[in-house]
């Protein structure tokens, strides 16, 4: 390999590492601020002041106030905890459930593999958000039911990734040797299969955080997620959408928070994907 090529690859590796540190730090800052959101709000996010309703953004209220006189900046800050951690919980559940099903199907195969994969085909045949709306509507709405609805439509992608990776690992010589040595099924799965397939799954889950946040906020916006007066970004946008033409800041404030959060997590996911790609690291 020529010296200029090596130099270019080194620059690319350094760039990816710098991006990883930057976006990782921003995501960590977002998570820490969400944890301590109650202590960072300048006002009580649920305190109503009917003498100061629909106030325009100012030095006193940076994002203005809503129809009840509540400080929008405080509501956006405290709403980050519900929105972000509900999304992370959703992604964790979907990743664990889909991976478990995929590994089980790939390892055991036979009729159970056929049945579960046909079920996943059925779920994938419907438009995702429309199917989630139907499930959430049947369950009766609410943040918990919105998470269940999104889990129901999202697990097949992870199951298929885990299944394909498991099938590839299943026929490798080292795994055949592990079986011949007398290792049990659970030991093989947790000691050999999962460590070798977890990379692509984690990258996929990181890339899905922004998408899941948008879908969860979308369900709340449609009245199938978090309910007022709970401070949740999608619910806040839904509650104030009728005021968009007159006092737009009450709707744009939570929308801006969603935009920034989704952008940070998407950029972090893209960077992790690039970092995990051997080609981008010059290997």
pLDDT of residue 26: 95
Distances (CA, A) of 282 to 3, 8, 30, 75: 13, 9, 31, 46
pLDDT of residue 283: 45
Which residues span the domain enclosing 104?
63-264
pLDDT of residue 280: 55
pLDDT of residue 173: 83
Q: Is 23 a member of any domain?
A: no
pLDDT of residue 279: 59
Q: Which residues of 14-41 are buried (b: 16+ CB within 10 A; e: fewer)?
A: eebeebeeebeebbeebeeebeebeeeb
pLDDT of residue 3: 67
Q: Is 5 a member of any domain?
A: no
Q: Is 272 a member of any domain?
A: no
pLDDT of residue 5: 66
Q: Is 274 a member of any domain?
A: no
Tokens for 64, please give them.
């203005």
Other CB atoms within 10 Å distance of the CB of residue 116: 17
Q: Is 201 a member of any domain?
A: yes
Q: Can you point out the beta strands (E) in the chain?
A: none
Q: Is 24 a member of any domain?
A: no
* 180: exposed, middle or buried (Cβ count in 10 Å: 0-12, 13-18, 19+): exposed
Tokens for 128, please give them.
């995702």
- How much is the pTM? 0.87
Q: Is 50 a member of any domain?
A: no
* Coil/strand/helix, residue 44: coil
Tokens for 282, please give them.
């010059």
Question: Chunked in runs of 10, what are the mean pLDDT values of the chain (283 residues)?
Answer: 67 84 94 92 91 90 91 93 93 94 86 88 82 86 89 91 88 80 80 86 90 91 84 90 89 93 93 75 49
CA gap 138, 92 in Å, rounded: 23
Domain count, the chain: 1
Domain at 217, CATH number: 1.10.3720.10
Tokens for 152, please give them.
């129901």
**Cβ(122)–Cβ(131) under 8 Å?**
no
């Amino acid at each position: 390999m020529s010296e200029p090529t090596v130099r270019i690859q080194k620059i690319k590796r350094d760039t990816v590492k710098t991006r990883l540190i930057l976006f990782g730090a921003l995501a960590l800052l977002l998570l820490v601020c969400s944890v301590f959101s109650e202590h960072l709000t300048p006002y009580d996010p649920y305190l109503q002041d009917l003498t100061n309703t629909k106030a325009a953004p100012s030095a006193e209220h940076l994002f203005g106030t809503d129809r009840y006189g509540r400080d929008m900046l405080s509501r956006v800050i405290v709403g980050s905890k519900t929105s972000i951690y509900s999304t992370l919980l959703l992604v964790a559940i979907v990743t664990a459930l889909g991976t478990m099903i995929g590994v089980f199907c790939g390892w055991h195969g036979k009729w159970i593999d056929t049945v579960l994969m046909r079920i996943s085909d059925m779920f994938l045949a419907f438009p995702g958000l429309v199917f989630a709306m139907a499930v959430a509507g049947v369950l009766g709405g609410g943040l918990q039911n919105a998470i269940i609805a999104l889990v129901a439509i999202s697990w097949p992608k992870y199951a298929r990734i885990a299944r394909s990776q498991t099938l590839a690992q299943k026929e490798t010589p080292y795994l055949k040797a592990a079986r011949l040595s007398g290792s049990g099924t659970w030991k093989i799965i947790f000691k050999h299969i999962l460590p070798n397939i977890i990379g692509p799954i984690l990258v996929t889950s990181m890339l899905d955080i922004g998408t899941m946040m948008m879908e969860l906020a979308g369900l709340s916006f449609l009245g199938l997620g978090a309910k007022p007066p709970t401070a949740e970004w999608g619910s806040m946008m839904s509650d104030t959408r009728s005021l968009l033409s007159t006092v737009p800041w009450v709707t744009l404030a939570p929308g801006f928070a969603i935009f920034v959060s989704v952008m940070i997590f998407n950029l972090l996911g893209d960077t992790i994907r690039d970092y995990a790609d051997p080609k981008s690291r010059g290997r």
